[in-house]
Structure 1
Amino acid sequence: MVQDTNVNRDSVAVMTPYFPNGNDKGSGYPWADGQKAGRGSTSNALVWSGSQWSAGANNQYPHNSRNTSSYYILDELVRYFDDKTLFPNMKQIVLAGHSLGGQMLQRYAAVGDKLETESPVVLWVANGDSWAWLSDYRPLNVPDCPTYNDYREGFANFVEYGMTYGANLVAQGLDAIKANFDSKQIAWARALQDFGDHSSSCAPDTTGQDRNERFFFFMKWFQPSCPDPSGTNCDTVDLVDAPHDNGQMFHSAAGLARLFTDNFYGDKSRAYDFGYPRKQQGDDPFPDPSLVNTPGATNYNTYAGGLTYQGCWTDQAPTTAQALSTLLYDDSSNTIETCTSGCVNAGYKVAGMSDATKCWCGNEVSSASAILTVDMQCKSPCPGNTAEICGGLRRLSLFSAGYPSFV
């Protein structure tokens, strides 16, 4: 609950837009069966095909007017609330999206028009299943995925998705899209218990194996920034101890700050990033000076042969070569000690644990397979000592004497 009693229903306006699709026939809009194809919708209600509203596509119905982008609707809502004749005391406008709504706003940040508003606009983006990448590069290899760069995951075939909004910007290329994205003020929110994946195509898998990894990979390649905390282009990143639950995200201290109290009085104030310790470099654009040095739970121990923990890495086999060449064993009594000593005794310089039970060894790490990922992806307890972590699903807890060599 917000402690400031000035933040109340009389001082805060909340609107929830509704983007109906085919699942809402007869409830969200009138529908008559037995009509010609595309004529069943009998009103002027704007209706979208499937989930295309979440990426800014034009409406499907009414059949005689199919040129309204869902992003144009967002533009109009912002303009409405920014109208000082209607809301003379407006200090800040927040567009908030969780899950598919978060996906909507991330893509809106990329292609959305730069609106000349009097009130600062913040996009609160939480727990999307995938993101539109701002480059052609992807960190992970996925076989037989020729559409990996198509819109909504990239910006190829943008118009073919049903887009007219943003088409001129996209035609200018990725540099223009990224510059537009960087000009937007985004309050990122990540639920640290959320490792789900509801993606329906192969494309999101090129950016991570689940929501968590996709978020942190996006943060790694397109780092948020806050050059001026009192300005109108300060990103924040909040880490919340919650599952994939919009209510818990909204009601967290971070959610209440971003949705209600940041800049409430028009004094340009905002809370520092929430959630420490941080998870990877670059995920703390507006650090809390009292918490920024909070140590994480990294393994600082030294094992056989002087091996120390070097982070959590992907293993993309069989699409690529194994990250480490030799499977020493697959055993339900696996521990860090048995794996590291086993590899050293077998003459290897690098040891890695994956899938809880597997111990891998090698002298070099395959650069085609191994990408450093966020430590949270290595979350499988070692069966021989559950206080230790032995990698994750196709993710390696890697140990070597210094930074490993790659081939």
Structure 2
Amino acid sequence: MAIATRFSLFLFLTFLFTLSPVSAWDWIQNPAVNGGQDDGWQSLPELPGAQLITDWPVPGTSSVMPVYQSAGLDTSRVTRAIIVPGAKARDHWSYWVTMQNIKMDFASTNSSFDPNTTSILTPCFLAEQDIEAGAGKPDQLYWGKTSWFGGYYTKGPNADDKISSFDVLDSLVDYYTNETMYPNMQTVIFAGHSAAAQFFQRYAAVRQPTKNDDRVNYIIANPGSYLWLVQDRPAQNSSCPDVDEYKYGLNNGLPGYSTGDYSRIGRDGIVSRYLGRNVHYALGTNDNGPGDTQCQALTQGSTHLERGNNFIAMLKALPDGMPSQHTVDMIEGVSHQNDQMFNSTQLRQRLFKDVSTTTSAGTPQTTQNNANTSSKNNGALSSKLISSGSLGIAMTLVLGGLSL
């Protein structure tokens, strides 16, 4: 009798799991691309689920630039845009792949999230070497190898156009907040890791105000250095010149995009603007690499993590304390890895669910949790993900069956 009962229970559980909401996402593999960051990339690969647009217009110039954008979405249903470029290596396609994989995995484990409401766009900031090696075309904008993430002007094809990489970001905000095309857009998120985090942190400070500022959020994950807001540094070095000049400070040397604005409102105006922006810092607790090794960066701290902690301490020491619209997420056990940072429990929530800037009490959120380990980041996801609700029901039935 007991054997028959348990066999019946086994059949019932098999039937239950067949009907339960089991979802799986076969993660996109990161494509192999010939070339490299030094000699230039030889191509921009096609990606499943993305449209590679090679003639994306940029206001102020007849030149264009390539971008990857989520394909096949109904723009009237899109409520969230995530802008995620590559980092120093300029392997921009791999960052679109990572974000797409995390988005689809998040959808497979969260029934309330519709992936068709989130558009991912990766602008491809190319260097001259990429044009020469074959990844770019003669009419596409290009920068110095690293100058794009400082907000500087393009080197070509028409340097006289004076197009800053910050101008490109402005145009992307304008595109996604166009109410005719995206009538239900709620938030635009700039998600940057490493060099792209440097890029977005500086952009958050110098971006000129628009009516859409309350909808723009900046995720700053493990930057190599910061645009410091005060003149003092935590690790003073009297032999290091220009410590407080851009891109490390605000005393002088701002890119052309910002000089007119800076002359009008000065340092205090830039700082005040930055403190009012929706900025979300994310630090890997194992990110002990040196990052930027220039002496100006080393006055901020010796590692990515130390600089981040010092920057947060500087914010808290300001006369008004930590800005209410800034948040801090400490991602335990993660080093300088963009996929593990973006796939952490905290950033998955910010990216795809709730990028809220303050708690109900109006105080900054500081969370410290382990990185999400329930899914992979750049491989094929071979196992199926079972919802915790169905698993709980099954376990209850199993335990009940064993007691029969």
Q: Which residue of 2 aligns with 1:209?
A: 302
| Per-residue deviation, 1:148 | 1.4
The 3 A distance-change label for structure 1 pair 203 and 110 is: same
- Structure 2 Cα separation of the partners of residues 100 and 136 of structure 1: 23
Out of 224, 229, 241, the residue aligned to residue 129 of structure 1 is 224
| Per-residue deviation, 1:53 | 0.8
Out of 186, 196, 210, the residue aligned to residue 115 of structure 1 is 210
| Per-residue deviation, 1:44 | 2.4
Q: Which residue of 2 aligns with 1:237?
A: 328
**TM-score, structure 1 as length reference:** 0.58
Task: Kindly provide the amino acid, as one letter, of the partner of residue 120 in structure 2.
Answer: V
The 3 A distance-change label for structure 1 pair 270 and 211 is: closer
Q: Does 1:166 align with 2:258?
A: yes
- Structure 1 Cα separation of the partners of residues 358 and 272 of structure 2: 25
- Structure 1 Cα separation of the partners of residues 149 and 293 of structure 2: 14
- Structure 2 Cα separation of the partners of residues 128 and 58 of structure 1: 21
SS for the counterpart of 2:257 is: coil
Q: Does 1:285 align with 2:377?
A: no
| Per-residue deviation, 1:147 | 2.2
Out of 54, 74, 85, the residue aligned to residue 180 of structure 2 is 85
CA contact (8 A) 2:198 2:220 kept: yes
Q: Which residue of 2 aligns with 1:254?
A: 346
Matches within 5 A, 1:184-203: 184-203=277-296
CA contact (8 A) 2:213 2:277 kept: no
CA contact (8 A) 1:109 1:184 kept: yes
Out of 227, 233, 237, the residue aligned to residue 142 of structure 1 is 237
Matches within 5 A, 1:5-404: 5-24=111-130, 25-30=132-137, 43-117=138-212, 120-159=215-254, 163-171=255-263, 172-223=265-316, 225=322, 227=324, 234-241=325-332, 242-262=334-354, 285-286=364-365
* 1:112-161 deviation line (CA, Å, top 9, x unaligned): 111212871110110001001112211212242112122111124425xx
The 3 A distance-change label for structure 1 pair 119 and 81 is: farther
| Per-residue deviation, 1:7 | 2.5
SS for the counterpart of 2:312 is: helix
- Structure 2 Cα separation of the partners of residues 64 and 271 of structure 1: 42
CA contact (8 A) 1:90 1:119 kept: no
The 3 A distance-change label for structure 1 pair 270 and 123 is: closer
SS for the counterpart of 2:230 is: coil
Q: Which residue of 1 aligns with 2:384?
A: none
Task: Kindly provide the amino acid, as one letter, of the partner of residue 156 in structure 2.
Answer: Y
| Per-residue deviation, 1:200 | 3.8
The 3 A distance-change label for structure 1 pair 271 and 245 is: farther
CA contact (8 A) 1:257 1:271 kept: no
The 3 A distance-change label for structure 1 pair 132 and 64 is: closer
* 1:158-210 deviation line (CA, Å, top 9, x unaligned): 25xxx211112323322111111112101111110101112142101111111
| Per-residue deviation, 1:226 | 5.6
Give the share of equivalent positions with the same residue, in percent.
Answer: 28
The 3 A distance-change label for structure 1 pair 12 and 157 is: same
Pairs aligned (count): 254
The 3 A distance-change label for structure 1 pair 92 and 131 is: same
Task: Kindly provide the amino acid, as one letter, of the partner of residue 261 in structure 2.
Answer: L
CA contact (8 A) 2:226 2:248 kept: yes
CA contact (8 A) 2:251 2:267 kept: no
Gaps of 5+ in 1: 31-42, 228-233, 264-268, 274-283, 293-407
CA contact (8 A) 1:48 1:60 kept: yes
Task: Kindly provide the amino acid, as one letter, of the partner of residue 110 in structure 2.
Answer: D
Task: Kindly provide the amino acid, as one letter, of the partner of residue 113 in structure 2.
Answer: V
CA contact (8 A) 2:276 2:323 kept: no
Task: Kindly provide the amino acid, as one letter, of the partner of residue 227 in structure 2.
Answer: A
CA contact (8 A) 1:272 1:287 kept: no
| Per-residue deviation, 1:6 | 4.1
- Structure 2 Cα separation of the partners of residues 222 and 12 of structure 1: 32
CA contact (8 A) 2:189 2:217 kept: yes
SS for the counterpart of 2:191 is: strand
Task: Kindly provide the amino acid, as one letter, of the partner of residue 149 in structure 1.
Answer: D
The 3 A distance-change label for structure 1 pair 64 and 211 is: closer
Structure whose residues are more often helix by fraction: 2
